[in-house]
Structure 1
Amino acid sequence: MTISELMFPPAFIMIFGAMLMPVVRESFRPVLMILVPLLTLLMIWNLDDGVLLTARFLGYEVELVEASNVRRLFATIFALMAMVGGFFAFRHAKVAELSAAMAYAAGAVGVSFAGDLITLFLFWEFMALFSTVVVWCGGTEEARRAGIRYGIMHLIGGIILKIGIEGVAVQTGSIAIQPLQLDSFATWMMLIGVLINAAAPPVSAWLSDAYPEASPTGSVFLSAFTTKTAVLALWLLFPGQQVLIWVGLYMIFYGIIYALMENDMRRILAYSIVNQVGFMVVGVGIGTEMALNGVAAHAFSHIIYKALLLMSAGAVMVQTGKRKCTDLGGLYRTMPVTAVCGIIGALAISAFPYTSGFISKSMISSGAAYEQYAFVWYCLVAASAGVFLHAGIKFPWFVFFQKDSGLRPKDPSWNMQAAMIFFAAACVLIGVFPQLLYTFLPFEATYEPYTADHLVTQLQLLLFAGLAFFVTLPLMKRTLTISLDIDFFYRRLGPVIWRSFESALKAGSTLLTNLLSAPARGIPAFLMRYHGPDGPLARSWPTGSMLLWVTAMLVVILLGARFL
């Protein structure tokens, strides 16, 4: 496609689709949910590499569309996620949610092709706006409050990112998206702003706070776009920055620990998003071609299997109305399709051989090994066992197996089943034929995942992790507890501090009012005493007395003129 043929960014197709969603007939909405992403995909794969569309904005030459292999790959999975997620959701989601989700996906596609920092920021904030609407479409008071907290956190992250962008523009005179060094306040601010969207602790609680409060269909959309666009931004702006290795490792183990403590099935999966994004952040920090290929491949795979897991959880929630592991169990009997698809997603997130997670996550750990990061490699291997514990076994075991909860729901509607089967097939297909994905990676992929040592190592790891789970099963059983996180400070402690501040402010205001009101009340009394009807200044004065006062005043004036 030539520059003259490209009249608008691919994201505009999805924005137009989002605008059409509320006005078309209900029967046409599923067609629109499929047709719009397909048209977007068609445009994406007809883009040549390089800058294809520019415009003038605020005195800058902004690059609305810049295409490359990694940008095209991320935009592809975003459009695909919008299509399959929309097909999963259309019979149960509100029209406002479908429209907001389409606009949300459009923002992610816009970020993917943004060639400059200003365009990236505009689509970044576009995503924040419509993802907040998706949270609110949960329709409960908890969703409303979580959406407000979510919006505030992303507003803060956007402000920090904007400060960094302005600083970089002033320092370098360029707004181009290119690898940056962490050698200035501005670049650190940009990194912090991106990491907030990536849900890096200690500011990751917004994800586990908001995503589980969205509707059963809304959480599927939320899992795909925000954190992965942040991964793409890190890939483009900060490859090889070793601080990201340690940030990523912290994210990995943070997500594992909190997921193991959780009782809410969607909060388990929300924490596992943080965990999986941590693997990607580590890969960006390593910064080699193999590691960066692994980041791109793992982001692609993660969106598919995480959406599949949340689809299975959403189907359970739609059919039972329950979300706590303590209320579920034994559902495999009456929801076999949902159970099988959920198990495939659980195996993929655990990097089980011949699933998509195996052929992508292993590239990152191998990238660490090839660069002699022994400690990092050991941590990634140990983390793989932790992932199998909380998402690979805990989620399907407590939801579909364990005790018989007495619930007898059937599998969900045909469209939900079709969407789950499609993504489950994709997890297996990519795992069995990794070249289907490797062909489209940003660098030449010579990595071979199915070597004897890798297969044996991974199977041993998963076997012993599974054994540890069932040996410690009494400890794994959850109760109705609440996990405290950093959000405690602004959700619980914050209001206490604010109420104390309000009380102190009211007390100070009362004291100040009393101090000022006493003199204020005395002034009228003083005036009435001397100027009132009975006051000395209100009486009639004899002429002689007046002359005496006038003479005294003249003497004072003359003396003042003489000596002053």
Structure 2
Amino acid sequence: MWITNLPPFVVFFVFALFAPVLKGRLRVLLLLAPVWGGLNLAMTAADSGGVTWQFTDLILDLYYIDRLSLLFGYLFHIAAFIALIYSLHVKDSVQQVSGLLYAGSALGAVFAGDMLTVFIFWELLAVTSAFLIWARRTPEAIRAANRYVVIQVLSGVLMLTGVIMLYQQTGTLRLAYIGLEGTAAWLIFIALGIKCAFPFFHTWLTDAYPLATPTGTLYLSAFTTKVAIYLLARTFPGEPLLIYIGAAMTCFPIFYAVIENDLRKVLAYSLINQLGFMVCGIGVGTALALNGAVAHAFNDVIFKGLLFMTMGAVLTRVGHVNGSDLGGLYKTMPRTTVFCLIGAASISAFPLFSGFVSKSMVMAALLEQEQIIVWLMLLFASAGVFHHAGIKIPFFAFFAHDSGLRPKEAPLNMQLAMAIGATLCILIGVHPEWLYSLLPWENDYSPYDMTHTLTQLQILFFSALAFVWLNKQGLYPPELRSVNLDVEWLYRRLLPSSGRRMVNSLVSARSSFRRNARIIADQFARRSTPMPTGTVTILTRRMAWVFIALMLLVVGSLVL
């Protein structure tokens, strides 16, 4: 008998309990979690009344379904299914368990109907995802995971504070439109902004994602930021500030991605760039813009996950993903190369690929609202995406110079996961109506009009021409063995060095004080003479009179 009204996260949490005991081929049974959860969601969504729980005066909507949450529910089941296939060869139970708990936490957040339940899963997202970074077990990954947890917990503290203040003001915890009015709304907005990688709040992403395991980075790219996008669309749609924040997010990562050597970090910057398109769409707030934002979130999970999977395959076979030391891998990893090219075409918004049918919705919505300057910024960002993700990733990893590396092709399960992602990228690009039918708001948009198609092809052509010319002239930033820091320099370099200097100063001051105290004590011992008996008597009498005077003052104050 099929279990109805079962929150999807329960399925993932239950399977996480059995993950440590499933070894070898039995690990395939973990795939039943997203399959069972997805089928249950599809069969019960139409007539589900949700799950409500009352605790004293609090009414909590633990399970709430509408078209917006349903879209993200389907997306997270697909992402979890691909990630589990991709990780079947992994024998580390920590990654298996934390991956299932992480995916379940994301599902719990998008199907929560109240802010308190959202907060609980918000914190579970932080804790479970950190284990996917710690699982790399390198000193760099451990430090990055520690920094990651601190920032994620800070986001949770801000959210909880805002939720409590909002409940005091409104008397309800229901998850609905908030708007930027009042301190509580700003606290929640900043909490969402941290997990959405707003400018200056983004460094946890570029710091931690490249240092996670290959499987961990795939999970991370799918859930945390997309839960934040979902909650922004739910609580702050049509907020004008988001338009300009999103525009900044699309542009600034391009400059870091172009000079970055670690190709997984290039993709991390590219992830922020794509989030900017979604944030812009939410800020515009029209039906077309919101549909474009959530459709692009759906597509980004697929094509960005595909690119992370290809780089994870390279990392598994080669041991690193430094562009300066790769090249020529297409000779022994041809299928991974093809999958990477499909992902690159999708993120670059080539016609007939998934990115084209969602990014254009946000661009069209900006033109409808006469946001010409922001539209031009996103146009520049689109060209930049093609440079750093559409060209740089496949070129320096698989082509460029011949590095002499001849690794084996990726494991079969990795190839299968990449094949599923690549197929979805093409199917959504060719048949966008399949995705459009799931969108929450009314939609009659057609992406393949002549004007938009020709405009996008021109952008791609001239971007490719610029890359070739710069590369031939030796002007394109070379791949250097280096670590590039942006705002994270503040807490990765400045704060630790300042802390070390402060500790050293205190230790030095303490040593100096002890040394000087010892010298003074020695001098006093050599030079001092015994105090006369009369002097001791006088001092004792004076102390007694002082004590009596204090007691009289205390008694007098009590009497008065």
Provide TM-score, normalisation by structure 1: 0.90
Taking structure 1 as reference, are residues 93 and 74 closer, same or farther at Cα in structure 2, changes over 3 Å only?
Answer: farther
SS in structure 2 at match of 1:72: helix
Taking structure 1 as reference, are residues 527 and 61 closer, same or farther at Cα in structure 2, changes over 3 Å only?
Answer: farther
SS in structure 2 at match of 1:39: helix
Superposed displacement of residue 62, structure 1: 0.8
2:259–2:478 contact (8 Å) kept in structure 1: no
Taking structure 1 as reference, are residues 504 and 171 closer, same or farther at Cα in structure 2, changes over 3 Å only?
Answer: farther
Give the equivalent residue in structure 2 for 1:105. 103
Q: Tell me the alpha carbon deviations over residues 470-500 of structure 1, each in whole angstroms, 9 at most, x when there is no partner.
A: 1111224311233221111111111111112
Superposed displacement of residue 372, structure 1: 1.3
2:352–2:430 contact (8 Å) kept in structure 1: yes
RMSD of aligned Cα (Å): 2.8
Give the equivalent residue in structure 1 for 2:558. none
SS in structure 2 at match of 1:263: coil
Supply the distance in 2 between the matched residues of 1:150 and 1:58 (Cα, whole angstroms): 35
SS in structure 2 at match of 1:268: helix
Supply the distance in 1 between the matched residues of 2:515 and 2:173 (Cα, whole angstroms): 57
Q: Tell me the alpha carbon deviations over residues 525-563 of structure 1, each in whole angstroms, 9 at most, x when there is no partner.
A: 999946xxxx858xxxxxxxx9xx9xx99xx9xxx9xxx
Say whether 1:370 aligns with 2:368.
yes
Give the equivalent residue in structure 1 for 2:213. 215
SS in structure 2 at match of 1:55: strand
Taking structure 1 as reference, are residues 523 and 14 closer, same or farther at Cα in structure 2, changes over 3 Å only?
Answer: farther
1:349–1:392 contact (8 Å) kept in structure 2: yes
Q: What does 1:56-455 correspond to in 2, within 5 Å?
A: 56-57=54-55, 59-92=57-90, 94-455=92-453
The residue type paired with residue 337 of structure 1 is: R
Supply the distance in 1 between the matched residues of 2:305 and 2:421 (Cα, whole angstroms): 8
Give the equivalent residue in structure 1 for 2:36. 39
Supply the distance in 1 between the matched residues of 2:343 and 2:498 (Cα, whole angstroms): 43
SS in structure 1 at match of 2:317: helix
Superposed displacement of residue 56, structure 1: 3.0
SS in structure 2 at match of 1:56: strand
Give the equivalent residue in structure 2 for 1:541. none
Give the equivalent residue in structure 2 for 1:500. 501
Q: Tell me the alpha carbon deviations over residues 6-52 of structure 1, each in whole angstroms, 9 at most, x when there is no partner.
A: 3x4211110111121012333211221x1011111122222247751
Supply the distance in 2 between the matched residues of 1:116 and 1:516 (Cα, whole angstroms): 62
Supply the distance in 1 between the matched residues of 2:321 and 2:7 (Cα, whole angstroms): 40
Taking structure 1 as reference, are residues 97 and 5 closer, same or farther at Cα in structure 2, changes over 3 Å only?
Answer: closer
Taking structure 1 as reference, are residues 264 and 93 closer, same or farther at Cα in structure 2, changes over 3 Å only?
Answer: farther
Q: What does 1:514-553 correspond to in 2, within 5 Å?
A: 529=530, 536=533
Supply the distance in 2 between the matched residues of 1:167 and 1:514 (Cα, whole angstroms): 53
SS in structure 2 at match of 1:62: strand
Q: Tell me the alpha carbon deviations over residues 387-408 of structure 1, each in whole angstroms, 9 at most, x when there is no partner.
A: 0011001110111111111111
SS in structure 2 at match of 1:440: coil
Q: More deviation in 123-132 or 41-50?
A: 41-50
Supply the distance in 2 between the matched residues of 1:155 and 1:187 (Cα, whole angstroms): 18
SS in structure 2 at match of 1:301: helix
SS in structure 2 at match of 1:442: coil
Taking structure 1 as reference, are residues 340 and 527 closer, same or farther at Cα in structure 2, changes over 3 Å only?
Answer: same
Supply the distance in 2 between the matched residues of 1:238 and 1:513 (Cα, whole angstroms): 59
Supply the distance in 1 between the matched residues of 2:4 and 2:84 (Cα, whole angstroms): 29
Percent identity, aligned pairs only? 39
Supply the distance in 1 between the matched residues of 2:300 and 2:16 (Cα, whole angstroms): 25
Say how many residue pairs are matched. 538
2:251–2:377 contact (8 Å) kept in structure 1: no
Supply the distance in 2 between the matched residues of 1:338 and 1:73 (Cα, whole angstroms): 29
Supply the distance in 2 between the matched residues of 1:62 and 1:513 (Cα, whole angstroms): 60
SS in structure 1 at match of 2:22: coil
Give the equivalent residue in structure 2 for 1:540. none
Taking structure 1 as reference, are residues 55 and 508 closer, same or farther at Cα in structure 2, changes over 3 Å only?
Answer: farther
Q: More deviation in 517-526 or 230-239?
A: 517-526
1:49–1:68 contact (8 Å) kept in structure 2: no
Q: Which runs of 5+ in 2 are unaligned?
A: 550-560
1:93–1:217 contact (8 Å) kept in structure 2: no
The residue type paired with residue 64 of structure 2 is: E
Supply the distance in 2 between the matched residues of 1:495 and 1:389 (Cα, whole angstroms): 35
SS in structure 2 at match of 1:460: helix
2:251–2:378 contact (8 Å) kept in structure 1: no
Supply the distance in 1 between the matched residues of 2:315 and 2:515 (Cα, whole angstroms): 58
